[in-house]
Amino acid sequence: MHLSQRITNITGGGSDGWDLFNRARAMIANGTSVTELTIGEHDIPTHPSILEAMHKAALGGHTGYAAVPGTDELRETVAARIQAQTGVATTAANVMITPGGQAALFASHTAVCDDGDVALYIDPYYATYPGTIRGVGAVPRPVAARAENAFQPRAEDIDAAAVGAASLLINSPNNPTGVIYGEDTLSRIAEVCQRHDMWLISDEVYDTQVWEGSHLSPRALPDMADRTLVVGSMSKSFAMTGSRCGWIVGPESAIDHLITLAIHTTYGVPGYIQDASVFALTQGDALEREVATPFRRRRAIAQDILARQNSVGLIPAQGAMYLMLDVRATGMTGEAFAEALLDAHHIAVMPGESFGAAAAGHVRVAMTIEDRAFATSLATLCEFAETRASQTA
Ligand code: PMP
């Protein structure tokens, strides 16, 4: 039977970038012990106090259909958080709750792209971006943020790609590079969006994982609130990846239509998950800090290890739970390096190429295992790179 182009073409016919990850998982299933530094999943479970709030809400009866746009309480809580972050007046009417950030990305592109519209995104990128854009019937167009610019996107490159584009998707703090966009970069991006009358979709799911500098949302920039859709999530900030709770914040007119879309797609997010999210978001920043601290610590451990060698370069990661390592001195592609490291030492890292051509010759390391094992694995990775580099020299 025929299946639609829309669904069969989501990956664009190429690899979905997860080959190495799947091979590592297959090795584990066959009983091999593999150190996984692949995906962005915390090594701690959701905090018991959040689970208690969830349990209480479910036992209290919040198990039926929840309000499709999100509960008033959660929408108000998210609005207050975004208003405090941006200084821009934000009410519940500017917020729609979604089943995680991914659903928010899909819905946001659905809201702003017509069939065949070009949607820009920055390369390197989170693996689902081009597929999300294809999934809504739009055409993904990458704009490279180059290693030699420390993976900061340049406004002139976006400008050159923007002719006829409906939207631009950015992500700061960035997965996979850990880079944070400063006010300068964001202001230039905002100008380009205004010049080309583009929507800006700002994926801010790592906004609580900031190790250097500070997080700035483009919603805060002059005249940007009306053309920006902010994507947020409970996943990374509260170790709630499995709970599937996120949001879109944007102009009320867009949110109104997004609610209609949700009525016809997700039909909302479970009420007990939303209640637990309200609980989590109203605990002050202690809980968020507790979730972020292990990554901050491991980043410092990594900086220490990497400072003592010169075969692996570290892109100065300012945020998020990843390190982007430059392995070009080994003469290998990121893919070849990751494959060889998995074979030789049973350490799984993601090839940079999985995140786009701009990350070729790099690997992404998720800082998602316990400190000592993390330090040992990273030291092994460096020794491995050193051996390979000396063979190349
Ligand atoms: N955006 C980025 C940049 C991500 O890394 C992820 C998850 N890894 C998501 C969005 C989606 O997260 P979730 O759907 O769990 O909120």
Q: CA 299, 302, 306: angle at the middle one, nearest 5?
A: 140
Determine the pLDDT at residue 40.
84
Residue-wise pLDDT tens digits, 220-249: 999 999 999 999 999 999 999 999 999 999
Residue-wise pLDDT tens digits, 163-172: 999 999 999 9
| Pocket lining: 100 vs ligand 1, CB cutoff 6 Å | yes
Let me know whether 345 and 256 are in one domain. no
Answer whether residue 251 is part of any domain. yes
Answer whether residue 340 is part of any domain. yes
Let me know whether 201 and 305 are in one domain. no
Length of the chain in residues, anyone?
A: 393
Q: What integer is the mean pLDDT of 11-27?
A: 85
Determine the pLDDT at residue 315.
81
Determine the pLDDT at residue 181.
96
- By most ligand atoms within 8 Å of CB, the mutation choice from 97, 175, 180, 215 for ligand 1 is 175
176 preceded by cis ω (within 30°)? yes
Spacing, Cα 244 to ligand 1 middle (Å): 10
The proportion of the chain whose per-residue pLDDT surpasses 90, expressed as a percent, equals: 94
Answer whether residue 390 is part of any domain. no
Determine the pLDDT at residue 183.
95
Determine the pLDDT at residue 250.
98
Q: Structural domain of residue 325, as residue ranges?
A: 5-45+286-385
- By most ligand atoms within 8 Å of CB, the mutation choice from 46, 208, 235 for ligand 1 is 235
Answer whether residue 129 is part of any domain. yes
Spatial separation of the C-alpha atoms in residues 316 and 323, rounded to whole Å: 8
Residue-wise pLDDT tens digits, 263-276: 999 999 999 999 99
% helix, strand, coil for the chain, step of 5: 50, 15, 35
Q: What integer is the mean pLDDT of 156-177?
A: 97
Determine the pLDDT at residue 316.
76
Let me know whether 275 and 306 are in one domain. no
**What CATH number is given to the structural domain containing 272?**
3.40.640.10
Nearest ligand 1 atom, CA 102: 14
Let me know whether 129 and 167 are in one domain. yes
Cβ pair 313, 302 in contact under 8 A? no
Let me know whether 202 and 135 are in one domain. yes
**What CATH number is given to the structural domain containing 344?**
3.90.1150.10
Answer whether residue 38 is part of any domain. yes
- Residue that terminates a domain, selected from 266, 281, 296: 281
Residue-wise pLDDT tens digits, 182-201: 999 999 999 999 999 999 99
b vs e for 192-217, b when ≥16 Cβ sit within 10 Å of the residue's Cβ?
bbeebebbbbbbbbbbbbbbeeebbb
- Residue that terminates a domain, selected from 257, 281, 305: 281
Count of structural domains, the chain = 2
pLDDT class of 12 with cuts at 50, 70, 90? confident
Let me know whether 126 and 181 are in one domain. yes
pTM of the model: 0.96
Let me know whether 102 and 219 are in one domain. yes
- Residue that terminates a domain, selected from 281, 296, 312: 281
Let me know whether 75 and 162 are in one domain. yes
Spacing, Cα 173 to ligand 1 middle (Å): 12
Nearest ligand 1 atom, CA 104: 14
Q: What mean pLDDT is reported for the chain?
A: 96
The proportion of the chain whose per-residue pLDDT surpasses 70, expressed as a percent, equals: 99
pLDDT class of 393 with cuts at 50, 70, 90? low
Answer whether residue 206 is part of any domain. yes
| Pocket lining: 127 vs ligand 1, CB cutoff 6 Å | no
Answer whether residue 392 is part of any domain. no
Residue-wise pLDDT tens digits, 38-91: 988 899 999 999 999 999 999 999 999 999 999 999 999 999 999 999 999 999
Let me know whether 60 and 178 are in one domain. yes
| Pocket lining: 98 vs ligand 1, CB cutoff 6 Å | no
Let me know whether 61 and 199 are in one domain. yes
Let me know whether 126 and 263 are in one domain. yes
Let me know whether 224 and 346 are in one domain. no
**Tokens representing residue 146 in the block:** 């180059």
Grouping H, G, I as helix, E, B as strand and the rest as coil, residue 230 is strand
* pLDDT higher than 90, residue 16: no
Spatial separation of the C-alpha atoms in residues 131 and 127, rounded to whole Å: 8
Q: What integer is the mean pLDDT of 290-301?
A: 96
| Pocket lining: 241 vs ligand 1, CB cutoff 6 Å | yes
| Residues paired with residue 144 on neighbouring β-strands, in sequence order | 123
Spacing, Cα 101 to ligand 1 middle (Å): 5
Answer whether residue 9 is part of any domain. yes
| Pocket lining: 250 vs ligand 1, CB cutoff 6 Å | no
Which is more confident, 279 or 13? 279
Spacing, Cα 89 to ligand 1 middle (Å): 26
